[in-house]
């Protein structure tokens, strides 16, 4: 329901920004204007609901019976070795690039 209310308010605001004053429109035309607004409002609310459902699924909302928590990452020995070796590999690639085909 809040999605419909928000979408309907936005649609009415868009009409008012176009220069249509709904207070001065006769009742028959006002009903017709609201029926024209109904389809875009429903479509927008459905799209927002689908986006919300996708976001909830992506975050694992109620995927497990118990709430999940954030895992703490810790550096392992292989991570440290890679961090130490990588700058040397990068420097070697730059060195060979400059010698054999470089700048």
Across 5-9, 72-76, 93-97, 98-102, least confident range: 98-102
More confident residue, 42 or 72: 42
In the chain, where the domains are located? 2-100
What does pTM read for this prediction?
Answer: 0.46
Cβ pair 57, 32 in contact under 8 A: no
Helices (H) and strands (E) in the chain, counts: 3, 0
Q: Kindly state the greatest CA–CA separation across the chain.
A: 82
pLDDT at 87 over 90: yes
**pLDDT recorded at residue 67:** 63
- Tokens at 48, concatenated: 């927002």
Cβ pair 20, 65 in contact under 8 A: no
Q: How far apart are CA 77 and CA 12, in angstroms?
A: 61
pLDDT at 70 over 80: no
Condensed to tens digits (0 to 9), the pLDDT of residues 28-41 reads 888 888 887 888 88
């Amino acid at each position: 329901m809040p999605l419909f209310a928000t979408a309907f308010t936005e649609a009415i605001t868009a009409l008012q920004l176009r220069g249509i004053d709904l207070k001065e429109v006769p009742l028959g035309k006002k009903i017709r204007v609201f029926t024209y607004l109904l389809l875009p409002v429903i479509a927008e609310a459905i799209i927002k609901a689908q986006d919300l459902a996708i976001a909830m699924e992506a975050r694992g909302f109620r995927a497990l019976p118990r709430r999940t928590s954030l895992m703490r990452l810790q550096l392992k020995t292989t991570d440290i070795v890679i961090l130490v070796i990588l700058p040397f590999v990068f420097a070697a690639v730059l060195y060979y690039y400059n010698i054999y085909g470089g700048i």
